[in-house]
Amino acid sequence: NAGVTQTPKFQVLKTGQSMTLQCAQDMNHEYMSWYRQDPGMGLRLIHYSVGAGITDQGEVPNGYNVSRSTTEDFPLRLLSAAPSQTSVYFCASSFGQGIYNEQFFGPGTRLTVL
């Protein structure tokens, strides 16, 4: 199993550009989430999905869009990048809630917006 994979590992954007961060998992997990990690702050939830076709907003959803057309993939779209979106982005997945909620994280994408 590859686990949770994320691409790209690094990305530099100019303000106003759009891009998609890719996330995929091969563990047949229903739950997938996107977090951002900023210096001095805990991981914050951007969007999450509890299954294919179902997504919802987390704590900091503005400026981001998601979709979940398959169980495996959960891409995160930046619609019009802003310097405030400079961060490290982690995708995570889990089988479900409660005792099934062990989180598996991808390696992260370091994004810089100039």
Partner 1 sequence: KNEVEQSPQNLTAQEGEFITINCSYSVGISALHWLQQHPGGGIVSLFMLSSGKKKHGRLIATINIQEKHSSLHITASHPRDSAVYICATEGSQGNLIFGKGTKLSVKP
Q: Sort 40 into a burial class: Cβ within 10 Å, 0-12 / 13-18 / 19+.
A: exposed
User: Site residues for partner 1, window 22-41 (CB under 8 A)?
Assistant: 31, 33, 35, 40-41
1, 2, 10, 42: which one contacts partner 1 (CB under 8 A)? Answer: 42
Contact between 48 and partner 1 by CB under 8 A: the answer reads yes
Contact between 77 and partner 1 by CB under 8 A: the answer reads no
Q: Cα dist. 17→39, 64, 81, 86, 95 in Å?
A: 23, 13, 5, 13, 34
- Kind of pairing between the strands at 109-113 and 104-105: unpaired
Contact between 51 and partner 1 by CB under 8 A: the answer reads no
Sign of CA dihedral 108, 62, 76, 104: positive
Contact between 44 and partner 1 by CB under 8 A: the answer reads yes
Residues in touch with partner 1 (CB under 8 A) = 31, 33, 35, 40-45, 48, 50, 58, 88, 90, 92, 94, 96-99, 101-105, 107-108
